[in-house]
Amino acid sequence: MTWMDITQPLGPTIGHWPGDTPFSYTTAFTKQQTGSVNIGKITTSLHTGTHADAPFHFLDSGPKISELDIHCFIGQARVIDVSAESIINKEALSRFHLDGAERLLLKTAVRSNPGVFPEKITAIHPDCGPYLKEKGICLIGVEVPSVDQLDSRDMAAHHALYENGVQILENLVLEKINPGDYELIALPLLIEGADGSPVRAVIRRRGGVE
């Protein structure tokens, strides 16, 4: 029942979207300067490292991160291994037992590598949105920076998931996590007006299915 961290560590070498704001941490004021404490400062894109997407990220009228239901980010989650699939669609997911899953975390052929932004990923097909809703799943998590192809402009998977009530976690670290049922905590920060947020994602085994 040990909690396991599935978060990419934020640091100076972490990969980020090309052209986006890289992560940096500096000590803005030292204890020597203040006389009492060190004070740090971070600069980052909200989509660097392990993070949650808000619908506002891809839809101007969509809810902001502070408006999302936090219950979707806490609770029972099922990890499945879809690394044999070239694309993750309804047909691929239907080969797995998803009844009662509530939240779904996907191990894909492209593993999370915090220091390298991938050149290619295994994307989510839009037909997963209605299928996940049918199964009662409110959140999907992936090991890569996006549920859509990296060069996508229509963001079809993002839209399909949102339209079916499925929240999105990206850049999880699942390489050492076996398929099965877990408890998940992956809370986004309460950032008003934001299109996403870093999360600290942790899971612990519940004794699940293979």
CA angle 59, 48, 75 (to 5 degrees): 75
Please state, in angstroms and rounded to a whole number, the distance separating the CA atoms of residues 3 and 129.
29
Q: For 199, left (φ over 0), alpha (ψ -120 to 50), or beta?
A: beta
Residues 32 and 57: beta-carbon distance below 8 Å: no
Please state, in angstroms and rounded to a whole number, the distance separating the CA atoms of residues 69 and 67.
7
Catalytic residue among 47, 57, 125, 158: 57
CA angle 143, 149, 150 (to 5 degrees): 85
Place of tokens 């996508």: 152
Nearest to 174 by CA among 149, 144, 150: 144
Please state, in angstroms and rounded to a whole number, the distance separating the CA atoms of residues 119 and 44.
21
Could you confirm whether 159 is annotated as catalytic? no
Q: Which residues are catalytic?
A: 57
